Amino acid sequence: MDFPSVSLGPPIAKRLSRLDVQIEANRCLNCYDAPCTRACPTSIDVPRFIGRIATGDLVGSARTIMDANPVGASCARVCPTDQLCEGACVYNADHNPIRIGDLQRYATDWAIRENATLFTAGPPTGKRVAVIGSGPAGLAAARELARWGHAVTVYERDAAAGGLDTYGIVPFRLPAEIALWEAEQVRALGVEIRTGVTVGRDVDPAALLAEYDAVMIAVGMGAVPRLGIEGEDAAGVWDALDFIRTAKCGGDVGRLGERVAIIGGGNTAIDAATCSRRLGAPSVTMYYRRGAERMTAYDFEIEFAQLEGVEFRTFVIPKRILVENGRVTGLELLATDPAGTARPLPGTECVVPADTVILAIGQQRHADLLDAFGVSHDVNGIATVDEAMRTNVPRVFAAGDCTFQPGGIDAMVVDAAQRGKDAARNIDLLLRAEVR
Amino acid sequence: MADLSIELGGIRSPNPFWLASAPPTNSGYQVMRAFAAGWGGAVWKTLALEPIVNVTSRFAGQNIGAYRMAGMNNIELITDRPLDDNLREIAECKAAYPDRAIVVSLMTECTRESWHELVRRCETVPVDGFELNFGCPHGMSERGQGAAVGQDPELVELITRWVKEAAHVPVIVKLTPNITDVRYTARAAAKGGADAISLINTLNSLMGVDLDTWLPIPHVDGKSSHGGFCGPSVKPIALNMVGACAKDEQVGIPISGIGGIADWRDAVEFMLMGSTSVQVCTAVMHHGFRIVADMIDGLDNYLDARGIASVREIVGQTVPRFVDWNDLNLDYKIVARIDPELCIRCNKCYIACEDAAHQCIDRPADPRLAPVVDEEHCVGCNLCQMVCPVENCIEMVRVDAGDTVHTWREKLTSVP
Categorize the per-residue pLDDT at B416 as very low, low, confident or very high, splitting at 50, 70 and 90: low
Q: Which of B93, B122, B136, B230 is an active site residue?
A: B136
Pairwise CB contact (< 8 Å): B347 & A31:
yes
**pLDDT tens, position by position, B177-206:** 999 999 999 999 999 999 999 999 999 999
Are B160 and B189 within 8 A, CB to CB? yes
Neighbours of A34 (CB within 10 A): 25
- CB within 8 A of A206, min separation 6: which ones? none
Domain covering B326-414, topology: Alpha-Beta Plaits (3.30.70)
Average confidence (pLDDT) over B134-149: 82
Give the residue from B346, B354, B393 with the most A CB atoms within 10 Å of its CB, the best one to mutate: B346
Cβ contacts (< 8 Å) between A90 and chain B: which residues? 344-346
pTM: 0.91
* Residue B136 annotated in active site: yes
Mark out chain B residues that contact chain A at CB-CB < 8 A. Answer: 65-67, 344-348, 350-351, 363, 367, 389-390
- CB within 8 A of B57, min separation 6: which ones? B218, B219, B220
Which of B66, B344, B351 is the closest to A90 by Cβ?
Answer: B344
**pLDDT tens, position by position, A23-50:** 999 999 999 999 999 999 999 999 999 9
The pLDDT assigned to A407 comes to: 63
More confident residue, A238 or B65: A238
Give me the phi and psi of A316, to 5 degrees please.
Answer: -135, 150
Q: Which CATH number fits domain B6-321: 3.20.20.70, 1.10.150.120, 3.40.50.720, 1.10.260.40?
A: 3.20.20.70
Q: What is the ipTM of this complex?
A: 0.86
In tens digits, chain A (436 residues) has pLDDT values of 578 878 899 999 988 999 999 999 999 999 999 999 999 999 999 999 999 999 999 999 999 999 999 999 999 999 999 999 999 999 998 889 999 999 999 999 999 999 999 999 999 999 999 999 999 999 999 999 999 999 999 999 999 999 999 999 999 999 999 999 999 999 999 999 999 999 999 999 999 999 999 999 999 999 999 999 999 999 999 999 999 999 999 999 999 999 999 999 999 999 999 999 999 999 999 999 999 999 999 999 999 999 999 999 999 999 999 999 999 999 999 999 999 999 999 999 999 999 999 999 999 999 999 999 999 999 999 999 999 999 999 999 999 999 998 766 556 899 999 999 999 999 999 999 987 6
Cβ contacts (< 8 Å) between A22 and chain B: which residues? 66
CA distance A84 to chain B (A): 15
Q: What's chain B's length in residues?
A: 416
The pLDDT assigned to A409 comes to: 54
Domains of chain A and any CATH numbers: 18-114 (1.10.1060.10), 128-222+364-435 (3.50.50.60), 237-359 (3.50.50.60)
Cβ contacts (< 8 Å) between A38 and chain B: which residues? 367
B326-414 shares the fold of B6-321: no
Neighbours of B413 (CB within 10 A): 9
Cβ contacts (< 8 Å) between B383 and chain A: which residues? none
B42: helix, strand or coil:
strand
- Cβ-in-10-Å burial (0-12, 13-18, 19+) of A259 comes to buried
| Spans of all domains in chain B | 6-321, 326-414
Pairwise CB contact (< 8 Å): B66 & A91:
no
